Amino acid sequence: MIWTDSLDIAIALDEAHSEIDPTIINFVDLRQMVINLEEFDDDKDKSGEKILEAIQMHWIEEKE
């Protein structure tokens, strides 16, 4: 996965961290969680606020 795979990342995060409420996670922690995903294979410095926001929104939708 790469940063622009926001839906796939959100699904992987939900599977790996089902106990976390994505509505309250900050972007610093979210970024680190994405980087730590085994399936993630992109430059860790390519993330930005818009990408992290998209991931967070998809994750919130997955929880619903």
pTM score of the predicted model: 0.93
The number of distinct structural domains making up the chain is 1
Question: Count of alpha carbons within 13 Å of 60, Cβ hemisphere only?
Answer: 11
Pick the closest to residue 55 from 24, 30, 21 (CA basis): 30
**64 pLDDT exceeds 90?**
no
Distance CA 51, CA 49 (A): 6
Domain at 31, CATH number? 1.10.10.600
- One DSSP character per residue, 43-56 reads -GGG--HHHHHHHH
Q: Within a domain: residue 16?
A: yes
Render pLDDT for 12-59 as a digit per residue (tens, 0 to 9): 999 999 999 999 999 999 999 999 999 999 999 999 999 999 999 999
Question: Domain range for residue 42?
Answer: 6-63
Q: Is residue 1 part of a domain?
A: no
Kindly state the tokens that stand for 56. 């967070």
Q: CA 3, CA 12: separation in Å to the nearest integer?
A: 13
